[in-house]
Amino acid sequence: MSLHPPLRRCWMRRGERKLIPAPGSPQYLHVFGAYNWHTGRVSYRTAAHKNSDSFVAFLEQLLAEYPRQKLILVMDNASYHHSKTTRAALSLYEDRLLVIWLPKYSPFLNPIERFWLHFKQLAVANRLHRSLKALQDSVDEVMQQQNTFHHPNRLRLLDKFRLVA
Per-residue model confidence as pLDDT tens digits over 97-140: 999 999 999 988 988 999 999 999 999 998 888 899 999 999 99
For residue 9, pLDDT over 80 is answered with no
Distances from the Cα of 132 to the Cα of 28, 32, 43, 45, 94, angstroms: 8, 17, 20, 15, 35
Give residue 165's pLDDT.
44
Please check the confidence at residue 16 and state whether its pLDDT lies above 50. yes
* pLDDT tens digits, one per residue of 61-85: 999 999 999 999 999 999 999 999 9
Please state, in angstroms and rounded to a whole number, the distance separating the CA atoms of residues 84 and 73: 18
Q: Which domains does the chain have, with CATH numbers?
A: 30-164 (3.30.420.10)
> How far is Cα 151 from Cα 98, in angstroms, rounded to an integer?
31
Task: Write down the pLDDT at residue 163.
Answer: 47
CA angle 115, 119, 124 (to 5 degrees): 155
> Could you read off the pLDDT of 24-42 as tens digits, one per residue?
778 899 999 999 988 889 9
pLDDT interval class at 156 (50, 70, 90): confident
